[in-house]
């Protein structure tokens, strides 16, 4: 492999590639990347061009191999920015660990999940579609639905006998038929929401820049929840996963509630005041804490 296809991104303190890849994999079947023990392969779009990347960890840096796509300096910069955002490489998470260590029932996370970063979904349209898909259905089924959507409407790159999928463009889903989605076992509501969101993107009234330009979290939440199919959970989920608003909490999230019960922070899922008071101790790290709670739910097999 010629060197001009390689990119190296230095790693911050408190980063674990193994923890991040393990979380990406968990026990689910995500069609947006391929993971083995030591590498991630993923197709991405930056600057309106597609790239297939192989990501590995070397000494103190991530090594990105551009398996497909051009290797101009401009592209490399965009890929570096994408990876940095995806793995949240720019953040010092030691202050978060300091807060965790103050709580006896959470301190173990600093060791057990050490170096886990809040993995993002850089594309807002994908994040919103994924949220709608995941609403009120189990994750196993949700990943199945996503796979069907991506296979039917997305594009893909081919490399060494394998497909690498790129999430459908909003233009494509804006023009999709309800009946086709429903034939893939999307509920009628989910098809309406997804097509509606796709149309808003195509009209240019909703995108990452629009949300980023809003002054505070409540303005961002309102802009999102004004869309049909986006409630408080979805708004906060994408603020956390895509916009990296550190204080967003996906209120009502069933996984979060489960974890709060398991850590004996609440007894009943209705104790919202208690939850609010608890999170006040983690100001600025709320979304990280939620992410670590999700991590705590997933069990390693062996």
Partner DNA sequence: AACCAGGCTGCGC
Partner DNA sequence: GCGCAGCATGGT
Closest CA to 6 of 60, 56, 74, 81: 56
Interaction of residue 277 with DNA, rule CB under 7 A = no
Q: Which two tokens stand for residue 290?
A: 């939620």
Interaction of residue 231 with DNA, rule CB under 7 A = yes
Q: Candidates 71-79, 84-92, 95-103, 179-187: pick the segment binding DNA (CB under 7 A).
A: 179-187
Catalytic residue among 3, 30, 112, 253: 253
Q: Which two tokens stand for residue 240?
A: 């956390």
Q: Candidates 41-49, 62-70, 181-189, 211-219: pick the segment binding DNA (CB under 7 A).
A: 181-189
Q: Which of 5, 225, 247, 271 binds DNA (CB under 7 A)?
A: 225
Nearer Cβ to DNA (34/221): 221
Closest CA to 12 of 57, 50, 60, 55: 60
Shortest Å, Cβ 143 to DNA: 9
Residue 223 sits at φ, ψ, to 5 deg, of -60, -35
CA distance 24 to 34: 9
Site for DNA in 127-166 (CB under 7 A): 131, 134-142, 144
CA distance 281 to 292: 15
Interaction of residue 183 with DNA, rule CB under 7 A = no
Closest CA to 301 of 117, 106, 107, 26: 26
Q: How many CB atoms lie within 10 A of CB 131?
A: 26
Shortest Å, Cβ 66 to DNA: 28
Helix axes 124-134, 232-241, angle to 10 degrees: 140
Nearer Cβ to DNA (64/118): 118
Q: Which of 4, 70, 188, 276 binds DNA (CB under 7 A)?
A: 188
Interaction of residue 255 with DNA, rule CB under 7 A = yes
Q: Which two tokens stand for residue 219?
A: 């303005």
* 273 has catalytic annotation: no
Site string for DNA, 234-253 (x = CB under 7 A): xx--------------x-xx
- CA 145, 149, 153: angle at the middle one, nearest 5? 175
Shortest Å, Cβ 6 to DNA: 31
Give the interface with DNA as residue ranges (CB under 7 A): 131, 134-142, 144, 182, 185, 187-189, 225, 227-235, 250, 252-256, 258, 290, 294
């Amino acid at each position: 492999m010629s060197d001009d296809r390689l990119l190296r991104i230095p790693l911050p303190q408190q980063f674990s590639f193994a923890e991040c890849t393990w979380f990406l994999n968990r026990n689910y079947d995500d069609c947006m990347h391929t993971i083995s023990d030591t590498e991630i392969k993923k197709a991405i779009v930056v600057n309106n061009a597609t790239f297939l990347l192989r990501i590995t960890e070397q000494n103190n840096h991530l090594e990105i191999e551009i398996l497909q796509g051009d290797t101009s300096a401009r592209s490399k910069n965009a890929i570096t920015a994408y990876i940095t955002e995806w793995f949240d490489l720019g953040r010092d998470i030691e202050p978060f660990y300091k807060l965790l260590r103050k709580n006896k029932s959470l301190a173990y996370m600093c060791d057990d999940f050490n170096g886990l970063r809040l993995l993002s979904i850089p594309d807002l349209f994908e994040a919103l579609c994924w949220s709608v898909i995941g609403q009120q259905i189990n994750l196993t089924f949700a990943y199945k639905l996503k796979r069907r959507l991506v296979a039917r409407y997305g594009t893909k790159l081919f490399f060494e006998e394998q497909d690498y999928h790129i999430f459908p463009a909003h233009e494509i889903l804006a023009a999709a038929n309800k009946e086709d989605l429903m034939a893939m076992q999307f509920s009628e509501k989910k098809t309406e929401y997804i097509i509606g969101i796709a149309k808003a993107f195509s009209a240019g009234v909703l995108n990452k820049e629009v949300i980023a330009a809003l002054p505070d979290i409540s303005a961002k939440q309102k802009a999102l929840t004004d869309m049909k199919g986006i409630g408080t959970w979805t708004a906060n989920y994408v603020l956390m996963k895509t916009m990296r608003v550190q204080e967003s909490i996906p209120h009502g999230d069933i996984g979060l509630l489960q974890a709060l019960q398991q850590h004996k922070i609440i007894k009943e899922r209705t104790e919202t005041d208690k939850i609010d008071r608890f999170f006040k101790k983690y100001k600025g790290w709320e979304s990280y804490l939620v992410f670590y709670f999700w991590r705590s739910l997933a069990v390693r097999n062996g």
